[in-house]
Structure 1
Amino acid sequence: MTFRFDNSWIAALPGTYLAAAPDPAPAPRLLAFNRRLAEGLGLDAAALETEAAELLSGARLPAGAEPIAQAYAGHQFGGFSPQLGDGRAHLLGEVVDGTGRRWDIQLKGSGRTPFSRGGDGKAAVGPMLREYVMGEAMAALGIPTTRALAVVATGAPVLREVELPGAVLTRVAASHIRVGTFQFFAARGDQAQVRKLADYTIARHYPDCAGAENPYVALFDQVIARQARLIAQWMGVGFIHGVMNTDNMALSGETIDYGPCAFMEGYAAGTVFSSIDHGGRYAYANQPLILGWNLARLAESLLGLFDADQDRAVDMANGLLEGIAGRYRAEWVAVMRAKLGLAGAEEGDGDLADGLLAVMEGQGADWTLVFRRLAGAVGGDATGIAPLFDDPTGLRDWLPRWQARLAPDAASRIRAANPAVIPRNHKVEEALAAATGGDMAPFDALVAAVSEPFVEREAYMLPAPQGFGRYVTFCGT
């Protein structure tokens, strides 16, 4: 089995990585394999599946692999760390699919690297399977995302609060270029490397920018556009990333690093799932604000490329940064128009969407079910949606305003724009607990369900049962 590697990062960007070999798994065993993704990459899926336990665990390197750990910095919860880097990940190389798109093939949880900062470089079965299921859910929802090609149990334990079975995930990404990648070199005053990195990013992700009057300003503008659209899509499905650090914002516009993430159930703007986000920095409603904050850090790193005159460079950056809120709002309103089944576009559509959120706040109203059940309220019958609210009075007042804006085929539009199935927190925990204990059946069933999110499967549509309690997630390191 061959990946037909074509490793452009190594060739184009020396000095941005360190060679690092993954640890060989002592007793690798394949837990999950993404056949559809393998086929999309142009790989021989059947052949790869037979060898995946060894090739995707570090036990044996695929032919042509040149494993490296990439360097990056990052603001983590607002504090700057000048050196982070791949502390438990090894980029094996890149493959080009049948359409000409380039993809990184990276092992995660594959052992120490020069950037491990005292960590063990390992990962446990649960967090790696979480990343697999979350990536598949997001992909099925049409939201740009990294995905998992496989998860392999290593046969070695990982010590966290308790001893857990270890695993390696194979992550497929359009690239691993992060805001923090630029920060790493900008913080060192290495403008030559920042320029090379920007040129590489343009060539790989934004080739149209190469012909712009100022390619680097054009690059920043296009990154803003992709990120504004991405975060609006997150907000539309109630997704909370949990660690929107600058090292977790990819310039490709993909969702990356599924650590303490989760999908919101009962709507509350301040919802936080991460065990380490004590101040709510990355709460649901704060994600658009962090979008702007992170992009400001990218602008700082690119200033020297915008213009040789610092004052002019700052003016260029500020001009684009000041427009982020409006660009995000436009993307969010577009998402909400689709979710609400509205006809055309009118000035007050954003206010209409805000009105529904105001009605939902504090009511325990399930985000996914409310929007899905709006399809049944198109004709004025609120019996399906009203029970989702502790007090439906506000909902009943809002419904006539909404019904006045509906498209003729609103019910079908609503069902097409609003999933029936998301990775419900209790179903995720149930699947991960079973898998950690050796039973993969609940995980496989969950992946099948979230991979067809608009197909109604009642067992995967219900909110967490009474007694599930407040949901808390962890980063897995």
Structure 2
Amino acid sequence: MSINFSNSYRDLGEAFSQNILPDPVAQPELLLWNESLAKALNISFTNTFNATTNKEQENDLLAQYFSGNRLLEGSKPIAQAYSGHQFGQFNPQLGDGRAHLLGDIADAQGQRWDIQLKGSGVSHFSRQGDGRCALGPALREYIMSEAMFALGVPTTRCLAVVMTGQSVYRERPYAGAIVTRVATSHIRVGTFQYFAARDDVESLKKLTLYSIKRHFPALISASDDKAINPEQVLAFFSAVLAKQIPLVLSWLRVGFIHGVMNTDNTTISGETIDYGPCAMMNDYNADTVFSSIDRNGRYAFGKQVNMMQWNMTRLAETLLPLLSGDEDERVAQLQPLLTQFHQDFEQGYLVMMAAKIGIDEPIEGDASMLNELIALLKKYRLDYTKTFTALTASLSGSAIEAPLVDALNEWLPRWHARIDDFKVAAQQLMRKNNPVVIPRNHHVEALLERCQESDDLTELHQFLAVLRQPYTLLDDTTKYQDAPIDGDKGYHTFCGT
């Protein structure tokens, strides 16, 4: 297989990772292969497969490579080191306990991407874990990340899911699987915390310089690419902050609840990572939370902006040693950036919500109109996705169902008056921002259950085909638009480890 690997993160040195090979598995079998992603990454098989190679042989070879049984040419696998605040409690050593970074590759545009196996065995970061992943969580990551990508949400993606032929034990035995994750990098807030917690300033400098080169190369001058100065550190922090705003706002736009926004699950690239306890909101409620491990609602739907601000403050703390002046002076350099971050989030939220009701440029009075709508959504327990879908369709003359009309009867005239002069443009904007279908929790769970009981993937591919066009009504879309009858009462998601 022709993949032109670099191992740039490994080259940072032993302090950053452990050199370790994936643990072999018994009977790898390719279950899912993301052909469109492979093409986007410029992954070629021309040197591996020939005219006499049949599909079964191709899949067998892919299964060997993306289970870790065979090493791709140029790959030097590592387990990355990082720390993290987990539900507010700091753990100084987490790291890849069941993942192996195979290396990074460049696509046709020169953008670099990490290729990582997840569920591929233990490392010295495993903390008594088995290093494995069950089939259900692997499929969930594939489904959810593809859905999020199509929804326009910044996200990691999945290249492959391979069954291992071995069982993993959680509450009971489950079929094991390995998922191949693709990301612009796996550098987290927790990666910076790892070195800050050890007072390892030299490694912190090295990590920051690497991060700038990888994600924000415009901040590095060609004449000085081996060191960083305090001004570049501040510019780097500002750039990282800017990445988080569209990330979280896009979660709020589509009703996504991450479920485990720990600092080790917050990337500096602003990509959604870790689809374990995630879920989608049905009836609007800012306090909605489904994660079984989020017992106090720390990462509830409506708290995600505040928690990202909290996480970014933790990142700011790690960068203090790289700035000039005494501690107070260093804090004073970062504080205005965090203040601006808060203000940008507030303005961004207004613009995002305004777009959902067809307003491109909010003016005075729009915020109160939106707040009134949100209050009605909560009061009448209106379905978040269905409400905005109905409002969008109503601009083409589709009747709004009676329960929704009754709930919004005083609000609708105010909205119509606001957009009366630009209804066509308003509907076009709403169609871009309001999906007609999302990966509803009950459909995802039902499908995962069936996939774990049967090797028939017909329905999975049907579901994915719909989710990959979430703003278009296809023949099969209506099968997946319904809200759960019980409103997901008692529903819980789990991290999968």
Return the TM-score normalized by structure 1: 0.95
Looking at structure 2, the residues matched to 434 and 321 of structure 1 have their Cα atoms a distance apart, in angstroms, of 46
Q: How many pairs align? A: 473
For the Cα contact (< 8 Å) 1:20–1:114, is it kept in 2?
A: no
Superposition deviation, residue 413 in structure 1: 2.4
CA offsets, 1:136-192, max 9 Å, x none?
Answer: 011111111000000000000000001100000000000000000000000000011
Matched, 1:70 2:80: yes
Superposition deviation, residue 34 in structure 1: 0.3
**Residue segments in structure 2 that go unaligned for 5+ positions in a row:** 50-57, 222-228
Q: What is the one-letter code of the residue matched to 2:411?
A: W
Q: What is the one-letter code of the residue matched to 1:476?
A: G
Question: Which residue of structure 2 aligns with residue 427 of structure 1?
Answer: 443
State which drifts further: 353-362 or 257-266: 353-362
Paired residue secondary structure (2:93)? coil
Q: Work out which of the residue numbers 333, 347, 351 in structure 1 matches 2:350.
A: 333
Kindly report which structure 2 residues correspond to 1:140-151, keeping only aligned pairs within 5 A, or say none. 140-151=150-161
Question: Which residue of structure 2 aligns with residue 475 of structure 1?
Answer: 495
Paired residue secondary structure (1:168)? strand
Question: Which residue of structure 2 aligns with residue 61 of structure 1?
Answer: 71
Looking at structure 2, the residues matched to 139 and 429 of structure 1 have their Cα atoms a distance apart, in angstroms, of 20
Superposition deviation, residue 348 in structure 1: 2.9
State which drifts further: 292-301 or 213-222: 213-222
For the Cα contact (< 8 Å) 2:3–2:105, is it kept in 1?
A: yes
Matched, 1:399 2:416: no
Paired residue secondary structure (2:15)? coil
For the Cα contact (< 8 Å) 2:380–2:407, is it kept in 1?
A: no
For the Cα contact (< 8 Å) 2:86–2:262, is it kept in 1?
A: yes
Question: Which residue of structure 1 aligns with residue 55 of structure 2?
Answer: none
Question: Which residue of structure 2 aligns with residue 132 of structure 1?
Answer: 142
Looking at structure 1, the residues matched to 359 and 487 of structure 2 have their Cα atoms a distance apart, in angstroms, of 37
Alignment identity in percent? 47
Q: Work out which of the residue numbers 229, 248, 273 in structure 2 matches 1:231.
A: 248
Looking at structure 2, the residues matched to 386 and 454 of structure 1 have their Cα atoms a distance apart, in angstroms, of 24
Looking at structure 1, the residues matched to 35 and 262 of structure 2 have their Cα atoms a distance apart, in angstroms, of 31
Question: Which residue of structure 1 aligns with residue 44 of structure 2?
Answer: 44
Matched, 1:458 2:478: yes
CA offsets, 1:20-47, max 9 Å, x none?
Answer: 1111111011111100000000012685
For the Cα contact (< 8 Å) 2:431–2:471, is it kept in 1?
A: yes
- Over 3 Å counting, the alpha-carbon distance change for 1:347 and 1:226 in structure 2 is farther
Superposition deviation, residue 13 in structure 1: 4.4
Looking at structure 2, the residues matched to 85 and 252 of structure 1 have their Cα atoms a distance apart, in angstroms, of 18
Question: Which residue of structure 1 aligns with residue 10 of structure 2?
Answer: 10
Kindly report which structure 2 residues correspond to 1:72-91, keeping only aligned pairs within 5 A, or say none. 72-91=82-101
Q: Work out which of the residue numbers 110, 121, 142 in structure 2 matches 1:100.
A: 110
Looking at structure 2, the residues matched to 318 and 411 of structure 1 have their Cα atoms a distance apart, in angstroms, of 40
Paired residue secondary structure (1:32)? strand
Superposition deviation, residue 466 in structure 1: 4.4
Q: Considering only aligned residues, what root-mean-square deviation do their CA atoms show, in Å? A: 1.8
Looking at structure 2, the residues matched to 114 and 272 of structure 1 have their Cα atoms a distance apart, in angstroms, of 32
Question: Which residue of structure 2 aligns with residue 418 of structure 1?
Answer: 434
Looking at structure 2, the residues matched to 138 and 279 of structure 1 have their Cα atoms a distance apart, in angstroms, of 26
For the Cα contact (< 8 Å) 1:74–1:183, is it kept in 2?
A: yes
Q: What is the one-letter code of the residue matched to 1:79?
A: Q
**Residue segments in structure 1 that go unaligned for 5+ positions in a row:** none
Superposition deviation, residue 470 in structure 1: 3.0
Return the TM-score normalized by structure 2: 0.92
CA offsets, 1:401-454, max 9 Å, x none?
Answer: 222222331223222221111101111011111111123222222111111111
Paired residue secondary structure (1:113)? coil
Matched, 1:189 2:199: yes
